[in-house]
Chains A and B, each alone.
Chain A
Amino acid sequence: MSETFQLDGNAVPFEPGQTVMQAALAAGNYIPHLCYHPEFKPHGSCKLCTVKVNGRTVASCTMPAEAGLNVESDIEELNALRRTLVQMLFAEGNHFCPSCEKSGNCVLQALGYDLEVHTAGFRHLYPDRPVDASHPDILLDFNRCILCELCVRASSEVDGKNVFALSGRGITKHLIVNAESGLLKDTDIALADKAMQVCPVGVILHKRVGFSQPIGKRRFDIRPISAQALDDAPRQADASGSCAACEGAP
């Protein structure tokens, strides 16, 4: 019998080496998250998954599970923090949901609805982020980037290509493309790459397939994101390889 910890009053079993997030999702318990992806080593940057463990706030995706931990997640105090973090991400980039083809399938938008974010909350920063439409089949709209680094990780770890990297620091941090020209057309990215599939928002898009699903049939039209925890359950037991391309990863 595996050991357990408490999550909002429920016992959650875990395997050695799992984090709180991984164990919770595997057991069908949802903890809000953005930069976490079941096939990659937890990153811990978006902080949406912040929980209280024995009274201390920590990111649940990087917190090692231990027997007897008392984890609180779905409480108003934490949801209020998450709401502010989502507002920050909306204010940081240029997000116009009605015209975005990721609308309805966007994790940031889904979290906004699920956490009941009703207002922007902050003054928008309106950053100047030109799109990269150089590639014949792929559009990069950096305006929507939330810097989760999933594409950086996927391209490096799975595709073995290092198409993406991060540049800048602080609020000027941004995603860049690995080419002397700085343009996607001069990289070896391919439509079948993992990096094409992991963007939680609408940065990396297939050209000419936008708005293919009618409103009402899109992923988060059907069920709110919190009801889709098992979709994000850990799928690879050994997704613990280190990633030289990632920030924060040892």
Chain B
Amino acid sequence: MVTRTHVHAGYLDAVLDRYGQSPDALLQILREIQEYAGYIDQGAISYLSNKLRIPGARIEGVAAFYSFLHLQPAGEYRVLFSDNITDRMLGSRELMQRMCQQLWVEPGKVSEDGLVSIDTTSCTGMCDQGPALLVNGRAITHLTHQRVQEIGQLIRNRTMIQDWPADFFRVEDNIRRSGLVLGNQIEAGEFLRAAFALGSTSNIVETIKQSGLRGRGGAGFSTGLKWAACRDAPGSEHYVVCNADEGEPGTFKDRVLLTRQADLVFEGMTLCALAIGARKGFLYLRGEYRYLLDSLQAALQRRRDANLLGKNILGKPGFDFDIVIHLGAGAYICGEESALIESLEGKRGVPRNRPPFPVTHGYLQQPTAVDNVETFCQAALAIHMGAENYHAIGTEKSTGSKLISVSGDCPRPGIYEYPFGVSVREVLQDCGAVNTRAVQISGPSGACVAEHEFGRKLCFEDLPTAGAFMVFDDSRDLFEVARNFVHFFAHESCGFCTPCRVGTSMLKQTMDKIAEGHGTQHDLREVENLDHVLQTTSHCGLGRTACNPVLHTLKHFRPAYENRLKSLDFEPAFDLDGSLARARQMTGRDDAGAHLNTEEA
């Protein structure tokens, strides 16, 4: 593996040609250069700027937005430890420290010989088989001390990643409870034939409406209403987008669906295309799932060969549709549908001002239906079994089944499919969790549920969820859980609006201050004030929900915070002793005389 300091024009031309010299493909082009060369140098930016007629600074701005793209050499081997709380609970921090020691490198820095960099990244979606890491974008699971040591050795020997033991890269599906979707064995094409049998395309939308299907990405908007609004919106083209940017920490159901039921996902998208009159669709696949790309491309090709994609699908005149896979590059915010569309257009993934909404002004300002991976699966099944049969599953306002991604303190983590309405307690029993103190439902932006609420039900009427279910037993410190989530939001804020850009950093600082033992009652009040500002003034859901982990844990586990506070009502944020750390480092001193410890004095 050689890091090229200069990417030659021939290579760039080939990539540009592959993407039709389209500025909309900028992110895909940058991602390919990153994969090929290890980083994107100024020469490549200037070259692209000329060819695509985009200002160089704007290209740099796009590259700098995404965590997996580098503007500076970042090492021949770029190791990123997944930093979700579930990885930490399995010892990821210690493993990372070990690897840093072994390879003589500081976290977040490139080794002096340019060989390796080691850092953390947001949840990689391997919570049921963690701790996990990415090396040059490829996922490695089940980390142990031994495995970490072996990886260090392979890096030191400069072994090509394709020659590393295949076992390292094995990703398990861990399906623990299967149902409507995961148990699906209906042949590809049957769903489309069922749709044809409904007669007119408006009957497809009508069936989806009557099925009661609601979006599985978390917000729970009626899928039928969305498709109808999109179909009715005027535009030169309509688009279908499948949101597989599964970034919510603790969620990994889409990974399993794309592994096991890719045809069902694509068939749902094709149904949607038929219903809204789209000829082109996108699957926005998160960069962390890069390893799925080849198998998904193969699945698409099989569908083209079987006339399930392409022209006159299944012989229906004028029914033309195809799907393109767009890879993300490490930005949680792109799970927000308008940010996702910006990213599809090759831009920084910043949520748009709404209205207008994507159903009328989405990709390239045309009507666009954006739905979650699981939603497309459910839609296909609803069409096949009929609205009435589908409506009979689940609860009155939450029809059908839901995939739950279980991780954390339980012996059987993995994917569980239930009809909507299952209680938290039932899931806990099925996964074998004991002495559970709390469950984080639907990820950091969701709800932290304490024991007295375990009777609550997973459904839109009670506890809505995008699927994450992280279990914490009585050995866990819920303050540390909340602090991990606050760090996550600060890292993933797009930086567009003041409250989220600055507020998430202030929240992080305050939580760190409390963690270091310098917190006071004043800091708790500040946390509550920040929560209020974030909730009321943020541009999008990220900022508005960024304080949920703190609010919920403060509500249920206030002692976890208060035990850490000083008895003082106020202590300045400025840490006198801490400010001398650099001087200590420079002089090589760490004795008592080099500290200003007022308590011991």
Contact = CB atoms under 8 A, between A and B. Distances in A.
A22 interface: no
Given A122-B506, A250-B361, A170 B495 contact: yes
Interface residues of B, number: 48
B331 interface: yes
B493 A171 contact: yes
A250 B352 contact: yes
Interface string B335-361: 000000000000010111101100001
Interface stretch (B99-107, B436-444, B466-474, B531-539): B531-539
Contacts of B350: 247-248
Contact of A57 (B353, B503, B536): B536
B496 A162 contact: no
A172 interface: yes
B15 interface: no
Interface string B33-60: 0000000001000100000000111101
Contacts of B136: none
Interface stretch (A7-15, A173-181, A206-214): A173-181
B494 interface: yes
Contact of B55 (A44, A57, A162, A173): A162
A84 interface: yes
B502 A88 contact: yes
B218 to A, nearest CB: 20
A248 B493 contact: no
B505 A168 contact: no
Counting chain B CB atoms within 10 Å of each CB, the highest count among A84, A125, A147 belongs to A84
B533 A85 contact: yes
Contact of B502 (A57, A91, A167): A91
A180 B533 CA distance: 39
B498 A46 contact: yes
B301 interface: no
A46 B490 contact: no
Contact of A46 (B65, B351, B497): B497
B209 interface: no
Contacts of B356: 250
Given A45-B496, A91-B506, A247-B350, A170 B355 contact: no
Nearest to B503: A88
B506 A249 contact: no
Interface of B is mostly: helix
Q: Is the interface of A mostly helix, strand, loop or mixed?
A: loop
B494 A169 contact: yes
B497 A165 contact: no
Given A44-B539, A250-B352, A169 B498 contact: no
A169 B64 contact: yes
B353 A44 contact: yes
A165 B573 contact: no
A168 B60 CA distance: 9
A216 to B, nearest CB: 31
A106 B539 CA distance: 25
B234 interface: no
B497 A47 contact: yes
Contacts of A118: none
A167 B353 contact: no
A89 B57 contact: no
A57 B491 contact: no
Contacts of A164: 57
Nearest to B575: A123
A62 B353 contact: yes
A92 interface: yes
Contacts of B61: 165-168, 176
Kindly name the residue among B46, B65, B499, B537 whose own CB sees the greatest number of chain A CB atoms within 10 A. Answer: B537
Contacts of A176: 57, 60-61
Interface string A113-156: 00000000011010000000000000000000011000000000
A171 B490 contact: yes
Contacts of A122: 502, 506, 573
A92 B490 CA distance: 14
Given A81-B532, A89-B502, A173-B495, 16 more contacts: A45-B496, A45-B498, A46-B497, A47-B537, A47-B538, A50-B537, A62-B353, A92-B505, A147-B495, A165-B58, A169-B64, A169-B66, A171-B501, A173-B494, A180-B56, A245-B58
11 contacts: A45-B497, A47-B498, A47-B538, A62-B353, A81-B533, A165-B55, A171-B501, A171-B502, A173-B495, A178-B55, A250-B361
